[in-house]
Amino acid sequence: MEENCIRLDGGFHNDVFHIKNKGKVVRISDAKKTKEMVLQEIEWMNFLYEEGVAVSKPEMTLESEEERVRACFEFIEGNQIDVTNQFHWNVNMFEQLGRIVGKMHALSKKFKVEGIHRPVWTVENPDVFGIRENLSPWIRENYEQLMQNLFSYEMSPETFGLIHNDFHQGNLIINGEGTLTTIDFDECSYNWYAQDIAVAFYHAYWQHNSNNGNVDTFPQTFMSHFFTGYKEENLLHKDIIKQIPIFLKLREIFLYKLFSEKWDMNNIAEWQKYTMHELEKKIKNEIPYAGISDFSVFL
């Protein structure tokens, strides 16, 4: 790795560095990511950038780092969203989040590829999350039932396409003017649009609940403004709204498995124990996330 670099948080899978003197971020991907997969990711990001979506501009040339793929992106000046900061966390921001997702979904309909190299949700192979393997029997049953619930929906350009797949405030940078830039398309997949909306709400509610309280009115405030922004950029199909509770439960299962694998269960903090207990309880008892089973009430 070059000099004058700072290691950044690469999540659970990647090695990420900020090369300060060149104003760029270098990401060395998980060994499971092929060059074709990463290339399609950066082609998607570059398409969004050229269409006016604020994303980190990628360099179109990839390099090999032993058996892993090295990609470079523009470094975005700013900060991650702080839900306790009213400049960051307000109704105008929620509408901006909706507009970003809506515009990405609208542009997904226009993005053309010769071959698909990203993960794809299909009825024959619905495990685009890659989490079915090694699930405990009790949670696998819940997972498969949720997938069955999706089989009844028609896949169309109005409900399904190439999406970010991990859109939440941790993958957004805010600048001094309050403008957001979306980063980290590493999980982008061909999936239902409802996934992006569900993940955005899941993490917004989770962090708001943990840091701010006043959770009773937050879902209405967040989702009504998010939907307002979304509808400025894209058709909000009725099936998208119906699918959001399904994807919220899938997010719980995804996080439960991720934490189970990445945390040392013999040496975890109390907040981690609490998180695992709450996730298990909600999954087992099929408790609607945030107590919401119908998101049409926020339209």
Cα 19 from Cα 22, distance rounded (Å): 6
DSSP letter, residue 290:
G
Cα 15 from Cα 290, distance rounded (Å): 34
Is domain 5-74 classified as CATH 3.40.50.620? no
pLDDT tens by residue, 40-91: 999 999 999 999 999 999 999 999 878 899 999 999 999 999 999 999 999 9
> ∠121-114-40 over CA atoms, to 5°?
65
Strands 63-65 and 180-182: unpaired
Question: In the chain, which segments carry CATH 3.30.200.20?
Answer: 5-74
CA distances from 135 to 50, 119, 205, 294 (A): 41, 20, 26, 28
pLDDT tens by residue, 222-252: 999 999 999 999 999 999 999 999 999 999 9
Average pLDDT of the segment spanning 214-226: 94
Scanning the chain, the segments in alpha helix (DSSP H) are: 35-50, 91-108, 137-151, 193-211, 218-233, 238-262, 270-284
> Given 3-state DSSP classes, what are the helix, strand and coil percentages for the chain, each rounded to the nearest 5?
45, 15, 40
pLDDT on residue 67: 85
pLDDT tens by residue, 175-208: 999 999 999 999 999 999 999 999 999 999 999 9
Report which residue type is found at 12: F
Whole-number CA gyration radius for the chain: 19
Average pLDDT of the segment spanning 270-284: 96
The more confident residue out of 170 and 215 is 170
Question: Residue 8 — pLDDT band, cuts 50, 70, 90?
Answer: confident
Residue partners of 239: CB distance under 8 A and separation at least 6: 153, 154, 158, 159, 194
**Overall pTM surpassing 0.85 (yes/no):** yes
Is domain 79-298 classified as CATH 2.60.120.10? no
If you average pLDDT over every residue of the chain, what do you get? 94
Question: In the chain, which segments carry CATH 3.90.1200.10?
Answer: 79-298
Average pLDDT of the segment spanning 22-26: 91
Question: Residue 3 — pLDDT band, cuts 50, 70, 90?
Answer: low
